[in-house]
Structures are given as structure tokens and as C-alpha cells.
Amino acid sequence: MQSLNLVPQSHLYQHNVNRNSASSILSIPLLKRPQSLCKSSVLRNKAFFHNTKNNILSPQRQNVSFFKSPVDFKVRRPRHVVEAGPAGGLGGHSASAGEPVDTPVKRTILTVAVAYIFLVVLIPFFNVFIQAFAKGVGAFLHHFLDPDFLHALKMTLLLAFVTVPINTVFGTMAAVNITRNEFPGKVLLMSLLDLPFSISPVVTGLMLNLLYGRTGWFAAFLKATGINVVFAFTGMALATMFVTLPFVVREVIPVLETMDLSQEEAARTLGANDWQVFWTVTLPNIRWALLYGIILCNARAMGEFGAVSVISGNILGKTQTLTLFVESAYKEYATEAAFAAAVLLSFLAIGTLWVKGKVEEAAAAETRK
């Protein structure tokens, strides 16, 4: 019986695996191989990765690409691979100090920037807290007992609970398949992923109404099955999933594009299947970027207004989220309730920023190791 090599014929493997890559791959246990594999072929491949780990390959062998057997080879130019950090751009800020602000022009620019932040961000933000506690803490806490307020909070958390896991799984799968494969329409698909960034959320809600409304394309099917989309939680979830779709995939793709592929290639050579390669090699490299995308996705899901407002109908006690509750309460001159809901949303935003900062610190600490 003809012996089979562990190196697939359809892939070219370069032998310039660095020390860290080889050591991480060698930690994966050897998996069960087909019975047709020759023992000498297994030993030959294990010896190759052992030599790679100890960095004893000669310069002539480090740039060799194998085909059907290790005897047939050709020498190619070395490929320079950009090694990915633990979270792409997270924690990748330079530690060098900037230039001192010692000229009138620099001082003017800095003053304008700080004044702009105070006028646009900080003053309105602190004013929300001032208005919310204008009548005391007791009056502020009283609004948290309002059934409509509690229902709006429940809807906000449910939307985040449903949409964030779905977009996390979709974004990760899309990022891996886009970066690891070449196919017709790849550029178009990348552009479509950015569509929620360019379309107004109000237009998104209108599109969903035109599709799932009484006169929409799927109206007959929805009526026959008894499924309600418009003015229901289902439509709100669809709108939120649409506007939060790009966050995870756009954070993971840059890390996968700069990741050293030799680690995944070595794992497959040792017998790992696609799921094992993803779980033991790919996921540890993208974990910080993935977590960062989840944080952004969750923040957008809890703060979405336009698309949810159109598709939900803004029905008090039924399809209102916290953002919609703030608008309706303010229009009805219930300013204290509106500011109380705004404060709760602000606390959610502050918590998101705190988690985001911790993720960046952890990524930066791992990058410095």
C-alpha cells in the first residue's frame, strides 16, 4: 500500500515557523489518523516540527515548500508574515512620549479641543444627572417602580440578550470565512457588511415595515403562520440585529488578516480538524478583538432608537425600550421620569466604557509580554 504523507497535496507549507508558533502547535495532542498512514511518514513529520521548535533548520531548508512528497520541492522567496497581536489594534499604542505643547499654536489647538469636548459631551452628560436628582434621591428612585419604566428596561435587556449572541456567532463565522477563502463577490460581500453603517436606522425600520407589514412581501406567509413582526418584539430584534451586524466582524477581520497562518497549517498537518484548529489556534489569537466587538455590539443594541422606533410603533408598556421611553416621557412633560431613564442608560454606557478599558488594558499587558 502506498504510504501517504501528512502534508496535503493541495497546500504549500512553508518551514519558516517561529519558535512561539511551533511551541503552541506542539501543545496540541496528536489526533487519530487514518489507518493507511505509514508509520515512517508520521515519524518524519513529527521530527520536522520538533526540529522547527528547536530552531535547528538550516537556512537552505527554511524556505522549502513541499508538494507530493518531501523529495519534490522548490525554493521560494521568504514570506514576511506580520504577526498579529492579542487584539489587533487594542493595546497597540506606542509607549513613546508625545511632543510637548510649548507653542501658542499648539496651546490654541489643545484649548479648542478640550472646550469642544466640554460643550458637546461633558456638560450635557452632567446636566442629565443634575436634572434627574433635582427633586432629591427619593423622587429619582420612585420612577424605578413605574411598571412602564420596568417594562422598557426589560425590553432593552432582552434585545441585547438576543441580538448580541447571534451577531457574535455570525460575525466570527463571517470573518473567518472571508479572510481564509477567496471567492467571487468577496469585495461586494465586504461592502454589504458595512451597509448598516451607511443606512439611516429610520430607513432600516421602514424597510422592515415594507417587507413584513400588512402589505409587505411576506405578509401572506406571516398571516398564515400567525407570526407578528411589525409592532412586536420579533421586528424589534430584527432591526437591532441589522444595525449591530458589522461590529464583531469588523473587529475580528483585521486581526485574522495579520495572523500568522503557519500555526493553523501546522495544526492541520498534525491531524486537527477545522473545529479543533479554530478552538485551539484561531480563537486564542482573536479573543480580545472578539470581546471588543461584543462590547460595541452590546452598547449599540441597548442604545438603538431609530430603527426600533419605526418597527415597534413605540407602544407604551408593550414595545418600548429605554430610549423610546425617554422620548415619550419627555414629550408628555414627565421630565423627571425621562431623566431617570436617561441616567440609567448613562450608567449602562459608563459600565460599557469601564469594561472596554479593562479589555484594552489586558490586551496591552499581553502584548508587552
Give the tens place of pLDDT for each residue, 239-267. Answer: 999 999 999 999 999 999 998 888 888 98
Q: At 320, list the grid cell.
A: 418600548
The C-alpha angle 337, 313, 156, rounded to 5 degrees, equals 55
Identity at 159, one-letter amino acid code: L
CB 244 within 8 A of CB 168: no
User: Is 15 a domain residue?
Assistant: no
Q: Name the residue with higher pLDDT: 218 or 54.
A: 218
All residues at 6 or more sequence positions from 251 whose CB lies less than 8 Å from its CB, including other chains: 88, 171, 289, 290, 292, 293, 296
- Whether 155 maps to a domain, the answer reads yes
How much is the pTM? 0.69
Instruction: Supply 332's cell numbers.
Output: 408628555
203 lies in some domain: no
146/317 Cα distance (integer angstroms): 10
Where in the sequence is the domain holding 355, given as residue range(s)?
137-186+246-307+317-368
Structural domain includes residue 351: yes
Q: Is 79 left (phi over 0), alpha (psi -120 to 50) or beta?
A: beta
- Answer yes or no: is 214 within a domain: no
- Mean local confidence (pLDDT), 85-96: 45
Query: Looking at residues 143-163, what average pLDDT do you find?
Result: 92
Percentage of the chain lying above the pLDDT 70 cut: 73
> Would you tell me how many other CB atoms lie within 10 Å of the CB of residue 286?
25
Model confidence band, residue 90 (pLDDT cutoffs 50, 70, 90): low
Cα 299 off chain centre by: 12
Confidence band for 81, pLDDT divided at 50, 70 and 90: very low
Q: Which residues pair with 4 in a beta bridge?
A: 37
Give the span between the Cα atoms of 113 and 97, in whole angstroms: 20
Confidence tier at 352 by pLDDT (50, 70, 90)? confident
236 has pLDDT over 50: yes
Which residues have CB under 8 Å from 20's CB, separation 6+?
Answer: none
The mean pLDDT value for 327-356 works out to 89
Specify the CATH number for the domain of residue 347: 1.10.3720.10
pLDDT in tens, 66-77: 333 443 433 333
Domain count, the chain: 1
Amino acid at 277: V
Task: Give a yes or no: residue 43 inside a domain.
Answer: no
Q: Could you tell me if 231 and 315 are in contact, meaning their C-beta atoms sit under 8 angstroms apart? A: yes
190: amino acid identity, one letter? M
Q: Does 93 or 188 have the greater pLDDT score?
A: 188
| Residue pair 224/330 in contact by the 8 Å Cβ criterion | no
Q: Can you tell me the mean pLDDT for 141-151?
A: 90
For 276, the 3-state DSSP assignment is helix
pLDDT score, position 274? 87
Query: For position 175, what pLDDT does the model report?
Result: 93
- Find the length of the chain: 369
Residue 299 domain flag: yes
Q: Quick one: pLDDT at residue 261? A: 86
> What is the per-residue pLDDT for 196?
92
Helix (H) or strand (E) holding 206: helix 201-212
In a domain, 273, yes or no: yes
Report the distance separating Cα 322 and Cα 287, nearest Å. 31
